[in-house]
């Protein structure tokens, strides 16, 4: 495996300070082979000088308006055997590259990835977001919340911040879906599977990945996730899961639940002096007590999900506030799904390339 030509590709945009940390970490990998590093972004970006400082190759993104197109330019420009992908806001451990590269000794490995969690350096609120992302059950099996046991596990998707592929596989499937404004890693993995290759997951190949801070950046990111995943599902039906559509009901049911509770409360549905036995059973009591009970059950499930989740940042405080963080995630993702459905059925449709990259970095 030492003879394999290996390269790491990092798409970046206006994030020079954190890119500096990434490149410094990549230059201190303990893998004993040659590891080339390439960054793809707009010429003149502050990150270009950082890349040069760390002896990384800078590839002009040719005016790309999304991560998928920028990465495709990088894929075409790079000649290697194994290509690793990560982001410009991670902190790669010294053993990260080696843990992924080692598995390509096996012929059945077309691609490999691993989990990502908030780094220890992140703020408390970001760690709380990580606990919510990785909570069991309530994340419905997402890559954040699902870390399967085993040394090497076959899966159908790896996160774009922690993945590696045989270069010829990427070339065969023509890389990322051109014009994809989000969920581009999910779509590319689907293309790889459809081409007959297999993807794997190493639970020990952990990548610390900075989380968005609550409230606005956190909710904006999750709203965008819901939106772009809905559009991708429309183009690639094999990506669909029941949870992707069901979550769209969450904002609707939340509003109906609050309205029902308030109506029941206004009609005397709760007797605070004896709430378990009074008033007599009727519409107002059913309305108030049922919605309150569902809310309590939701909180308990969130606590249990956080407690038994995968995040290394589980602690008393992060678990206690997890229902708030998970509620914000469900609400934001659900409204994103509704936005996607609106575009599909009432707007321009779900074709790739409609608009620019959907994230918190303006590309105007």
pLDDT in tens, 222-238: 999 999 999 999 999 99
| pLDDT in the model for residue 48 | 98
Instruction: Please state whether beta strands 111-113 and 116-117 pair in parallel, antiparallel, or not at all (unpaired).
Output: unpaired
| pLDDT in the model for residue 142 | 62
Question: How many helices (DSSP H) and strands (DSSP E) are in the chain?
Answer: 13, 10
| pLDDT in the model for residue 361 | 56
Return the structure tokens found at 352.
Answer: 């790739």
Q: Which domain holds residue 85?
A: 6-130+143-211
Domain count, the chain: 1
* 113, part of any domain: yes
* 39, part of any domain: yes
* 192, part of any domain: yes
Which letter does DSSP use for residue 103 in this model? G
* 338, part of any domain: no
Per-residue pLDDT of 168-210, as tens digits, reads 999 999 999 999 999 999 999 999 999 999 999 999 999 999 9
Instruction: List 140's β-bridge partners, or say none.
Output: none
Q: Any idea what the CATH number is for the domain that residue 179 is in? A: 3.90.550.10
- Cα angle value 187/193/196 (rounded, 5°): 150
Return the structure tokens found at 71.
Answer: 């990465």
Do residues 302 and 322 touch, judged by C-beta distance below 8 A? Answer: yes
* 151, part of any domain: yes
| pLDDT in the model for residue 356 | 60
| pLDDT in the model for residue 151 | 86
Return the structure tokens found at 281.
Answer: 């059973």
CA gap 178, 157 in Å, rounded = 18
Low-confidence ranges of the chain (pLDDT < 70): 1-2, 140-146, 148, 355-364
Return the structure tokens found at 178.
Answer: 């051109």
* 79, part of any domain: yes
What's this model's pTM, rounded to 2 decimal places? 0.92
* 360, part of any domain: no
In degrees and rounded to multiples of 5, residue 135 shows phi and psi of -65, 145
């Amino acid at each position: 495996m030492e003879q394999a030509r290996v390269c790491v590709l990092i798409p970046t945009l206006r994030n020079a300070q954190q890119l500096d940390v990434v490149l410094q970490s990549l230059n201190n990998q303990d893998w004993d082979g040659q590891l080339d590093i390439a960054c793809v972004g707009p010429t003149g970006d502050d990150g270009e000088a950082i890349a040069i400082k760390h002896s990384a190759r800078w590839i002009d993104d040719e005016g790309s308006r999304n991560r998928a197109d920028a990465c495709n330019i990088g894929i075409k420009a790079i000649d290697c055997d194994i290509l690793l992908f990560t982001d410009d806001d991670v902190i790669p451990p010294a053993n990260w590259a080696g843990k992924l590269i080692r598995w390509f000794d096996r012929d059945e490995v077309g691609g490999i990835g691993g989990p990502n969690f908030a780094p220890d350096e992140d703020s408390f609120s970001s760690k709380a977001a990580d606990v919510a992302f990785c909570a069991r059950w309530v994340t419905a099996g997402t890559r954040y919340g699902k870390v399967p046991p085993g040394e090497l596990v076959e899966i159908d998707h790896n996160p774009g911040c922690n993945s590696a592929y045989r270069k010829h596989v990427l070339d065969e499937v023509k890389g990322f879906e051109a014009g994809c404004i989000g969920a581009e890693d999910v779509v590319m993995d689907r293309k790889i599977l459809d081409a007959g290759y297999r993807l794997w997951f190493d639970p020990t190949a952990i990548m610390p990945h900075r989380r968005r801070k609550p409230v606005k950046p956190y909710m904006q990111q999750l709203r965008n996730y819901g939106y772009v995943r809905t559009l991708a599902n429309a183009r690639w039906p094999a990506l669909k899961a029941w949870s992707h559509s069901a979550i769209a009901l969450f904002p609707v049911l939340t509003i109906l639940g609050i309205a029902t509770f308030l109506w029941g409360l206004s009609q005397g549905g709760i007797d605070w002096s004896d709430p378990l036995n009074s008033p007599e059973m009727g519409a107002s009591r059913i309305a108030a007590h049922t919605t309150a009970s569902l809310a309590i059950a939701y909180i308990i499930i969130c606590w249990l999900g956080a407690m038994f989740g995968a995040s290394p940042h589980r602690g008393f405080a992060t678990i206690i506030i997890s229902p708030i963080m998970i509620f914000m995630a469900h609400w934001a993702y659900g409204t994103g799904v509704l936005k996607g459905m609106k575009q599909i059925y009432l707007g321009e449709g779900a074709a790739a390339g409609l608009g620019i990259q959907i994230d918190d970095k303006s590309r105007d």
